[in-house]
Amino acid sequence: MKLYNEIKHNILSVKVDKRNDVYTAGIDNLFPNLVETLINISVTSKICVDKVAKSIYGKSFGKIGKTIVNKDGQTLNEVLRIASREYAKHNNLFIHVGYNLLFEITSIKVIPFTQVRIGKQDDLGYSGKYIIADWENKPKADSFKIYNRYNPIESVIQSQIENAGDIRNYKGQILHLSKYSNSVYSLTDLNTVLNEALSENNYQLFRVNGGEKGFQNTKLIVVQPFANDDDRRGFLNKLKDLEGAENSGNILLLESSNMTDDLGSQIKLDDLTSEFNDTLFEYSEAQSEKNICKAFGVPLMLVNSSDNGLFGNSGELIKQGKLQLWESREEERDQLEEVFQNLMKKFHKPIDSDLKIISPFEQITTESKPILNE
């Protein structure tokens, strides 16, 4: 896949597609797909997304999060895990919300950003529709799945159900969580280092191609034309007898077809071994790694264990790096906690208690420790 032309103008272009009445995500409306591709081919980007997602998810909602929240059998904790990863990748999160006739929420499910686009605004500046489609294959309008914007007011839901004709035809609503609410779509943390992610993949391809396609200890033998095919086969068989370490030291006897003082004209041996330097981009690769980590706010020590830093990668320093990342993602956790708290209060099996993402750094209290029989 030739990605350079797709990322050289690496600004998330958002405009109204008048044919489909949606706000496009990128010049070709495939910016989220490009981000996913770059994350998948860049080692550092993938690790950073994993680290950020874990720092958002923490240790889940605990026991209270084991409630099943959709027909796919996903628990609230599983939806939180998926949401954390989606938010870590795109800084955008789309959640489908389904209702019953009592206007209670019956389904909560994350929809990938690659599938969702926001509908254009009406005359009052309100975007009330979300369109789900396979945007990579340039879908036609008749294949769109159109959803209403999230609004938990019962009269609004009732009106939407009536417009759909029946509860069975009602598709529900989409809730959009955006890290930067002043834009239609939030920019991904990867946006400033799209080229670094691509370059990191190219460094890997260079090493693979050099090892796979380069001439390694290869010899070129040039000889006089053979008189017949039997002579040619005989010569090749003699060469095969000399291949390998076990046959080193054997003698190959070649008889010249005529008398000459220049034996070099009878047979010539050249070395085709290529000089493959697999450290050619070592500095550039290290810089790409650092820049991607900076973009995601992930301490380098959590990505590259060989980075000694000032104090070396002691266990305590690694722990401090994880704590630093955990604290830097407090805003995202607060956003998700608030969203799921509001949704679960309106769930058909409501959870009224506070939903709090459990910190992996909380100390085990004396009360939680098992009491041993003396």
Residue 68 main-chain phi, psi, to 5 deg: -75, 130
How far apart (Å, rounded) are the C-alpha atoms in residues 66 and 45? 30
How far apart (Å, rounded) are the C-alpha atoms in residues 148 and 162? 13
**The tokens of 228 are what?**
């017949």
pLDDT, mean of residues 132-142: 92
- Give the model's pLDDT for residue 232: 77
How far apart (Å, rounded) are the C-alpha atoms in residues 173 and 301? 42
- Give the model's pLDDT for residue 278: 55
Quick check: 246 pLDDT over 90?
no
> 105-111 and 92-99: which strand pairing?
antiparallel
Quick check: 27 pLDDT over 60?
yes
Over residues 357-367, the pLDDT tens digits come to: 999 987 544 33
Quick check: 143 pLDDT over 50?
yes
Quick check: 88 pLDDT over 90?
yes
Cα of 104 vs its chain's centroid, Å: 34
**The tokens of 15 are what?**
């405009």
How far apart (Å, rounded) are the C-alpha atoms in residues 327 and 97? 30
Nearest Cα to 321, choosing from 349, 361, 356, 284?
361
Whether the Cβ atoms of residue 330 and residue 341 lie closer than 8 Å to each other: no
Residue with tokens 């000032």: 310
Whether the Cβ atoms of residue 226 and residue 41 lie closer than 8 Å to each other: no
